[in-house]
Structure formats: structure tokens, C-alpha cells
Chains A and B, each alone.
Chain A
């Protein structure tokens, strides 16, 4: 089964990379860009039936650092 984990910096955590990309978009002439935040997409190919609690543990133990990041799991059964 395919599961996607989206890892994002928590609101309020400075994202200098997102800020630089924001400035670059403005530099390219795109108007109306209010904010840019950059996260990480992790695709997991898991044995069928892997439960969401196990995937949450993977996220909390390694895939995300919950001090600074939040995560969402997509495609879990």
C-alpha cells in the first residue's frame, strides 16, 4: 500500500527557505504571493494492512521532528 506523509514546519517556526522562494517568486513578477512554506513529502510503500498507529509512530520517531514539524498521513487504511 502506498502512503504519503506530508511533513510541515509548525506555524510560527521561521522558514527561511520559504521566505527566499517567496522573494524569488516576487522577483519573477508573480503578484499576490502572500506566503510560501516549504515542507517535505515522504512516500512509503508499506505491507498491506499496516495500521495507521504504526505509521504515526514512524512519523513521531523519525520522519518528523515534532518539536518543529507537524505531519499528516494520506492513504492509510
Chain B
């Protein structure tokens, strides 16, 4: 059966097409596009993806308004039933605002919007989203954000590290994130939030500086882990 993934579009999302395109490239079937005002998700989903962008113009706080939208109530309920959720960039901000992941994303420590490809270290290669990587591997994925500075109190950070819930760390300075955290997993490993954009690293470009394929294995891992037979 075809892999059933939904990509949620909020007003101001701008990476939703990239996300849908990446999922289709890897899964071989198109993602279902869902609008923020929809109260219900399609049934039997194998993955819900929250894309990057500036939902609701980042009013109040990045992700805060989206977290109150009707579709997010359905996403929270689905996540609580164990439906896998991937949030990238603004999607990660929405997941923290919706309290599906701990912590918050503050303004970058350097005050600047950071838009470049960064090196990441794969910290946990045993999760359903990261099983295609090797633990400790360095990968290169683009970032493009203003509010990517991950914050949680020391106790929460210790817990996340102790439980293997740090999926990725920045291997170079990026945005001032606590303990260089770039991606965080839920306790059951089925919700992943990350600031870097794996959907922008799906194909190796002929000119290496134009992009690599290190993000592809994240989608391949999700497909292998979550596809219903």
C-alpha cells in the first residue's frame, strides 16, 4: 500500500511544497496536502509533516498561532495515538508551542537570520527517523531561520540527553542552541522536530555547493519505519 503522508500548510508556510516533493521523491507516492483550517486529518496516516516557513507571520512567537489552529488539535491527538510527526524549522517551533516536544526556540544568539548549509552530528541513529544514519556520523543539511536557538532548562536537557532524545547536534556554531541541539525526539521516538531542512537535501547537485543528499536518508528511514505493509 502506498505510503500515506500528510503535509500541513499554514498561512505563511513556505516549505510545504519542498516537503511534499521530498516525500514523493522517496516514497514514490504523492503526499496529501492539508490546510490549516481543516479540523480533521485524513485517516490511516503513516506520517504527518509540519513544514518550514513563517506561519501566521510569526505573530506573538514563532509557531504560537499555528499551535492554536484547528488542524493542530487533530495533529496533537494523532501524535498521542502514535502517528509519527516530523516538524522542520517552523514545524519544530509549532511542535514546541503545541507542547508535543519540550523546550522552545529563541531568537538566534547572534541576532541574525542564519541561511547556509551546516554540519550536523547524528547523535541517535536508533530512532525511526534516523535509523538510516550511523551514530556519530557528520552530515550536511541547510538551515534557514531566525529563531532556532533551542532552549530548555538544565534538568530537561539532561533528561533529553539521558534518554537519547537528541537526534542531531550542530557540529559547528549556528544559532546559540543549548548544548548545540539541532533536533529533538519525543519520548516514544515518533515525533521529531529539527531546525535544519532535510527536504532541501534530497538530491546531489552536479555542483556540490548547490546541495547534497544527506537529508534523503531521514525520509528513507521514516518510510522504512512507518510504512504500513
Residues in A lying within 8 Å of B, measured CB to CB = 13-14, 16-17, 20, 61-63, 65, 67-68
Contact = CB atoms under 8 A, between A and B. Distances in A.
B60 A63 contact: yes
A53 B111 CA distance: 36
Q: What is the predominant secondary structure among interface residues of chain B facing chain A?
A: loop
Interface of B: 60-61, 64, 68, 96-97, 102-104, 106-111, 149, 151-152, 176
Contacts of A20: 111
Nearest to B149: A14
A62 B64 contact: yes
Contacts of A67: 96, 102-104, 151-152
Contact of B111 (A13, A17, A61, A62): A17
Contacts of B104: 65, 67-68
A68 B60 contact: no
Nearest to B110: A16
Given A20-B111, A68-B104, 15 more contacts: A14-B109, A14-B151, A14-B176, A16-B106, A16-B111, A16-B149, A16-B176, A17-B111, A61-B68, A62-B68, A65-B61, A65-B64, A65-B97, A65-B104, A67-B104
Contacts of B60: 62-63
A17 B60 CA distance: 15
A17 B106 CA distance: 11
Most buried by A among B61, B68, B111, B152: B61
A14 B151 CA distance: 9
B111 A68 contact: no
Contacts of A65: 61, 64, 97, 104
